[in-house]
């Protein structure tokens, strides 16, 4: 597996640089303006706009390189959860003291999030008229 990453590294560098530049621009704008929006979210929006407007640019972006870099990051995404796991183990005393409350809050917020998502989906489907199409097809 390491050989595959090393073989693709020259192809991934321009894409990774573009991703990091978009994140840097997002961080700079978020900190400079004081907007309550995380810099990486702004960076992802910039990257999306760049990729959508790729045909309008005088020199096209290295789209396959961005895809290769993104695939490489996603393939190793599980490594980013290690610091969170270590942080939890480092705070086992807090977890023991407030564990039940944290578990209840976690389950409740998950259920509320699922319910809100379902309601929003149903509302948008009703606005778009998907319910009528489903009945016509039956």
- Distance CA(89)–CA(100), nearest Å, equals 16
Q: Which of 25, 59, 75 is the last residue of a domain?
A: 75
> Closest Cα partner for 65 from 24, 17, 21?
17
- Distance CA(77)–CA(84), nearest Å, equals 13
For residue 21, give its domain range.
1-75
Confidence of residue 29 (pLDDT cuts 50, 70, 90): very high
Q: Which of 24, 59, 75 is the last residue of a domain?
A: 75
pLDDT reading at 134 higher than 60: no
What are 39-55's pLDDT values in tens digits? 999 999 999 998 888 88
Q: Which two tokens stand for residue 21?
A: 């530049």
pLDDT reading at 1 higher than 80: no
Contact residues for 69 (Cβ-Cβ < 8 A; gap 6+): 12, 13, 15, 16, 18, 19
23 and 67 share one domain:
yes
- Distance CA(46)–CA(86), nearest Å, equals 32
Q: Which of 56, 75, 94 is the last residue of a domain?
A: 75
Note the pLDDT of residue 55: 81
- pTM comes to 0.56
94 and 54 share one domain:
no
pLDDT reading at 132 higher than 60: no
What are 80-122's pLDDT values in tens digits? 888 888 888 888 998 899 999 999 999 999 999 999 999 999 9
């Amino acid at each position: 597996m390491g050989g595959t990453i090393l073989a693709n590294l020259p192809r991934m560098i321009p894409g990774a640089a573009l991703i990091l530049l978009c994140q840097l621009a997002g961080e700079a704008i978020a900190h400079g303006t004081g907007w309550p929006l995380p810099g990486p979210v702004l960076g992802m929006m910039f990257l999306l706009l760049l990729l959508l407007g790729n045909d309008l640019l005088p020199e096209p972006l290295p789209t396959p390189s961005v895809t290769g870099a993104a695939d490489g990051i996603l393939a190793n995404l599980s490594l980013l959860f290690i610091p969170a796991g270590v942080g939890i183990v480092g705070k086992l005393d807090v977890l023991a003291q407030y564990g039940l409350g944290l578990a209840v809050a976690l389950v409740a917020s998950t259920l509320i999030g699922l319910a809100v998502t379902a309601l929003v989906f149903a509302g948008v489907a009703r606005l778009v008229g998907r319910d009528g199409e489903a009945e016509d097809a039956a």
